[in-house]
Structure 1
Amino acid sequence: MIDRLCPDQFITPERVRMTAWLMLAATLIGLAYLFATAHGTVDSLGRPLGTDFSNVWTAGWMADQGQATQAWNWPAHYEVQKAIHHDPAIPFYGWHYPPPFLILATLLAQIPYVPALILWQGLTLGGALMVIRYVLPDQRDALLIALGAPVVMVCLGHGQNAFMTAGLLGGGMGLLDRRPWIAGMLLGALVYKPQFAVLIPVLIIARGNARAFLAAGLTSAGLCLLTLLIWGWPV
């Protein structure tokens, strides 16, 4: 039985494409259901639409209202989430990002919650797909398979930043030798997600790419400095 299910017999291009189409359809249907059954910004399960995005948008709103330092005060942050979503019983999604991510959160909070969620997911997914097209330019089904990956449903359903992380990391690594300055800037922007970027400086040094290393360092330091200039030392 195992022999019959070996990859070269069972996993075929046709089956991969069919699975991707089915998963993509399930993703679209699931998202349509979430938005169609939502009440304001709260879905039918009593969660904010985009779940994790709630902490990003509300942190940006707090920063825009002069309460930037309170984004890391979880009880205060939760009170704002309940007020924004007009629901005292919604689950809490805590803000736990390094300060530079507050810059992007504040920009997103300049537009209403649901449009900001759609814009956030659309732009970051588009960026990740651009990286896939760059890495696999000759693979006809690459974008379909990427869109049909189960992780896309998870990220879209929960408003996560994984698309942006994948785009920055994949784009930076893909451009490391051809465009070292741009690659370094992309990798340096991962300062908002340091657990994914901790080995990148070591890798760049091992490759001897001084320009990428310098660009990554300057970008990370620049984002931290910009945060300091906008909100001050307490943040």
Structure 2
Amino acid sequence: MVWLISLPLHFRIVLIAGIAALLRVLYFTLDGLVSPGIELSFADKDFANYWTAGKLVLSGQTADLFGPHDGYFAHLTAAFGADYPWHNWSYPPHYLFVVAPLGLFDYKLGMMLFLGVTGILYLWSVRRFAGQGNYAIWIAILPFLAHNFWTAQNGYLFAGCGLAALAFRDSRPVLAGVFLGLLTIKPQLGILFPFLLVAERRWLVIISATVTTIALVALSAVVFGIGAWSGYLAEVVPYQSHVMRELRGTFLWMLPSLYGTMRSWDFEADIALSIHLAVALPVMIATISGFFLTRNDEDRSILLLIATFIVTPYALSYDLGLLAPALGLLATRLAAMDRACGLVVMMATLLPSIMIPLGALHATAVVPVLILAVYAIAWRDTGAARRLKAIFRPKAGN
């Protein structure tokens, strides 16, 4: 217990909150696993989409994933009952390479295998990205680990891909590009990666990512048919756009972006997006500038990972596994120098656990404001602000 007492107070708060969240999630998961049949509360997970997709692929009904929503949803109600709540399929055909094997298992076993395998990938990626000796990193990811397990989402998988790409971009650039190619399944999380790679002149990573993406798209067209891609573009993308523009309630509380806050305040989608872009575009420009101004890979990684959740309007709480390690790195730097900023950073690691409660309290604005505050701290800490001032500061004698 000595090591726990020696931690700064805000580290202890996150550690205790994270462990409590994990224990709670594990308790309810175990209860769902041992209950007979599949209770509706246990089936009402995003994993239901992945498992259903696997079943459809193996039964030769892949086309139903990329057709009208009513046809797909009929498979969900057939599997889980007429009272099953609304879910939709939103992924491109190359994601089927990941989820098709899930159709070999029953729902409960498939879920545990999916979360277990992708969880191992995520933990491995965190270790390669930040090293194993930094305890703040492992404390910072606890709330995310619990939240993604509860939602049974793919947050471990895609956060793992993004972190692995950053970790290997210098030592194993081809492998880094492969991970970025996989991240194209959720392209909204990779908006800033091309600018980072250009700033660092990682040409081999760019080539590898491009080849991987083309190969995945081409192979998925061969395996699942051209119709899967045409259906994705004609049916799935427009329907997902409708979801982003019209869906309300808990979904909006899970969006950390300014767009999500504006929509939860009943702003029309176009107005909400305009307000979002008014903040996101300057942050994007500042971040790209920071890629050229900062002097080491870790600084640029921190800026990218934090800025991603300001720039993209469509990330969700279960995508915050990309943000958490950056917060851990930043908090470690600030622990001995700036405790107030360190507290702000570590409180941001709790976002996966508190976003929905904040939404229920009509306090969604806390989320983008907190992320913007963390970004400002990171911008200052990396030294990008000082170097930018130096560029424009008049030279002595002029």
Does the pair score TM above 0.5? yes
Aligned equivalents of 1:81 and 1:145: distance in 2? 37
State the SS of the aligned residue for 1:186: helix
Per-residue Cα deviation, 1:135-161 (whole angstroms, up to 9, x for no partner)? 332535246414522x22221111111
Q: How does 1:27-176 map to 2 (within 5 A)?
A: 27-37=22-32, 38-42=35-39, 46-49=40-43, 51-72=45-66, 73-85=68-80, 87-137=81-131, 139-142=133-136, 144-149=138-143, 151-176=144-169
Query: TM-score, structure 1 length as denominator?
Result: 0.84
Which stretch of the first structure deviates more once superposed, 75-84 or 221-230? Answer: 75-84
User: Identity percentage over the alignment?
Assistant: 26
Per-residue Cα deviation, 1:61-119 (whole angstroms, up to 9, x for no partner)? 1121111121133212211112222x210112211011110121111222211111111
- The unaligned stretches of length 5 or more in structure 1 are 1-10
**Contact 1:59–1:106 (CA<8 Å) still a contact in 2?**
yes
**Contact 1:50–1:159 (CA<8 Å) still a contact in 2?**
no
Per-residue Cα deviation, 1:189-220 (whole angstroms, up to 9, x for no partner)? 11111111233233322322111111101111
**Contact 1:21–1:144 (CA<8 Å) still a contact in 2?**
no
Aligned equivalents of 1:173 and 1:229: distance in 2? 30
Q: Structure 1 pair 49/146, CA: closer, same or farther in 2 (3 Å)? A: farther
Query: TM-score, structure 2 length as denominator?
Result: 0.51
Aligned equivalents of 1:91 and 1:34: distance in 2? 19
Residue 205 (structure 2) pairs with residue 212 (structure 1) = yes
**Contact 2:54–2:100 (CA<8 Å) still a contact in 1?**
yes
- The unaligned stretches of length 5 or more in structure 2 are 1-5, 229-398
Q: CA RMSD in A?
A: 2.2
Partner amino acid for 2:106? Answer: P
1:176 Cα offset (Å): 0.7
**Contact 2:148–2:156 (CA<8 Å) still a contact in 1?**
yes
State the SS of the aligned residue for 2:113: helix
Larger radius of gyration: 2
Q: Structure 1 pair 40/49, CA: closer, same or farther in 2 (3 Å)? A: same
Q: 1 or 2, which has the higher helix percentage? A: 2
Partner amino acid for 2:116? Answer: G
Matched positions, count: 220
Question: Which position in structure 2 is the counterpart of 1:6?
Answer: none
